[in-house]
Structure 1
Amino acid sequence: MDIHPRVLRYFLVVAEELHFRRAAERLYITGPALSQQIRHLERELGFEVLRRTSRSVDLTDKGAELVPLARAVVDASDTLSAWAARADQGTTRIRIGFMATGAGELTQGILNATSANLPLLDVHLKHLEWGDQTRALLENRVDVVFTREPVRADDLRCTVVLSEHRVVVLPSSHPLANRSTVTFREIAEETFLPSETGSQEWIDYWLVNPRPDGSAARTGPSISTVEEMLEQCAAGTGIAITAESVPHFYAHPGVRFVVVEDLAPTRVLLCARSDNSDPTVRKFEQLVEDIAHR
């Protein structure tokens, strides 16, 4: 049996998303290519790990058992990669962490420019959860990370990549759902969905907590992914604040995204450890900075 950790990484993303298109978007590969990799995995194992219908994707019993085993292999592979990077000071590989929409509308432009300007650079993309962005960087699991403010900049070197509006995610039946903009006062009394992960500073930022009058946000169920946010909002259990680029990457028929006109914009940063002097990382930072300025 010869199963590459990359294939197990693909399986884990599909297991999280339970949706091939969304998983393919996260992995920056095509849907057919992802399906082919999963079929290869199942042939190697000798059994199905996913149950597919025209409407849904679910884990089989053996697929559910595979999840922790696959995660252990992927984590071990990442640890080995980190060791190799430390051992080889002349590495031409870069591990890029990203969350949700990455660098927003600039993501593909940055990846294309990296391929064109640094053709020998081996780019590894690693999707991170909301609470894992800077932690992955400080634990040397990634070399750089695209993250959103607020970020504790201690021991980090950060480059501003872009700035965009914050938007409120409303159920499509909400009275304000068909507006192009709202003020925060109009939604302040709603129930908000707090992040299940991340620092308290991060959670409070997206809850806009405390409010200007000193009151605390009324909160509903916790969420840990964009998909959970969309489903909870569509179900009417609460609303959420997110970034303007999110609807360009994630769609849901049951929600609407409305600009909150009086909230300060949210910024995407590219961060590296301040003690990282690897010339490969420096070149990538400069390339991103040039694109951001343009």
Structure 2
Amino acid sequence: MELRHLRYFVAVVEEQSFTKAAEKLFIAQPPLSRQIQNLENELGIQLFERGSRPLQTTQAGQFFYQHAVKLLSNAEEIKAMTKRVGTTDRVMRMGFVASLLYGLLPRITYLFRQQQPNLKVELIEMSTKDQIQALKEGRIDVGFGRLRISDAAVRRVLLREEPLMVAVHSSHPFSNKTEGVYLAEIAEENMFFYPTTSKPNFSTQMQSIFSEHGLEPRYSKEVREIQLALGLVAAGEGICVVPDSARTIQFPHLKYIPLLDADAFSPIFLATRNLDESEDIHALFDCIYQIYDLEAIKYDRAGF
């Protein structure tokens, strides 16, 4: 059995047609049919329900499909990682969501560069969702994000849970509640969510927190990015929920107050490929925990 046989089989399953699969693979249909028949002969089982329209797998075929997809994914990971290992100039490409630049990511990256002078570090802004695909395709090596997105080919490590704040105008009644407010108190306010990138994103994460409390913001609007949301808050247009690190963004008349609900936090994850146990990944985790120690931030050290 060769990888090409797995690719042929997966294409037929996903297209539910030998004809469409052959077009996708840029081969003629008769050779494709023979390859699938040879695969069935080698396995000694029938993979497809003959005569079904559209084409359907047998129970054994569905089992084989699920594992074939994993094997092909692992093969692509190995190929990408091998290319990286064989590259003369070592490079680590780090995907990140923009809001993390207001927190500790710049310090972590700077320390990492100082401790790894022979490693070229590239920062690439992308959503958490896009990071998963980029990891699998070898376009980045690690991803820093805020969403819980599961994928069998990706290992996700929770670094910490960042408290959430409410940004308000200094004339707003909430600005005097320095101890903080609850989600139930702000649900009736004009509220800005961000960003407007493809979902899921931070906006959907915040709306989910409201939903889990049986709440729904009465007046809400999505805007492009966090700076725009906070600029509108500073103009007295409404309020916005942001991570604690966003307090470094300052506008006149802009105030930040804590959210008091127990689950009012935004998780920060680091994602890597499952098979990647490189020394560079270990070194990056060491830098992260060094910074956390300096800032007295609680964390559970990952098993890297």
Whether these two folds match at TM > 0.5 is yes
| Structure 1 letter corresponding to 2:271 | C
Contact kept in structure 2, 1:206 and 1:242, CA below 8 Å: no
Aligned-partner Cα distance in 1 for 2:144–2:269: 6
Q: Percent identity?
A: 24
Q: 1:210 maps to what in 2? A: 211
Q: CA deviation at 1:143?
A: 1.4
Mapped contact 2:94–2:121 kept (Cα < 8 A): yes
> Following the alignment from structure 1 to structure 2, what is the Cα–Cα distance between the partners of residues 293 and 210?
34
Shift of 1:170: 1.5
Deviation at 1:262, TM superposition (A): 1.3
Distance 1:87 1:150 in 2: 29
Given the alignment of the two structures, is residue 89 of structure 1 paired with residue 85 of structure 2, yes or no? yes
User: Within 2, Cα distance between the matches of 1:107 and 1:93?
Assistant: 18
CA RMSD of aligned residues (A): 3.1
Using the TM superposition, give the Cα deviation of residue 164 of structure 1 relative to its aligned residue in structure 2, in angstroms: 2.4
Q: Does the residue aligned with 2:100 lie in a helix, a strand or coil?
A: coil
2:302 counterpart residue number = none
Aligned residue for 2:255? Answer: 256
1:277 shift after superposition: 4.3
Report the alpha carbon displacement of residue 95 of structure 1 after superposing the two structures with TM. Answer: 0.9
**How far off its partner does 1:90 sit?**
3.9
Task: Determine the C-alpha separation between the residues in 1 that align with 2:140 and 2:100.
Answer: 14
> Which structure's CA Rg is the greater one?
2
Does the 8 A contact of 2:168 with 2:239 survive in 1? yes
TM-score after normalising by structure 1: 0.60
- The alignment partner of 1:221 has SS state of strand
Note the C-alpha offset of 1:85.
Answer: 7.5
Deviations 1:121-169 (A, max 9, x none): 1111123357644454445432112211344354322233333210012
Q: Deviations over 1:171-196 (max 9, x none)?
A: 23211123321122211222322332
| CA distance in 1: counterparts of 2:105 and 2:206, whole angstroms | 22
Residue 270 of structure 1 aligns with which residue? 270
Report the number of matched residues: 210
Distance 1:132 1:84 in 2: 17
Q: Distance in 2 between matches of 1:212 and 1:153?
A: 27
Q: Please report the TM-score for the alignment, with normalisation by the length of structure 2.
A: 0.58
| Residues 7-64 of structure 1 deviation map (CA, whole Å, 9 limit, x = unaligned) | xxxxxxxxxxxxxxxxxxxxxxxxxxxxxxxxxxxxxxxxxxxxxxxxxxxxxxxxxx
Gaps (5+ residues) in structure 1? 1-82
Mapped to 2, the partners of 1:289 and 1:169 lie a distance apart of 29
Moved more, 275-284 or 223-232: 275-284
Structure-2 change in CA distance of 1:254 and 1:239 (3 Å): same
The 1:183/1:129 distance shift into structure 2, 3 A limit, reads same
Name the counterpart of 1:32.
Answer: none
- Residue matched to 1:44: none
Q: Secondary structure at the match of 2:267?
A: strand
- 1:56-71 equivalence runs, <5 A: none
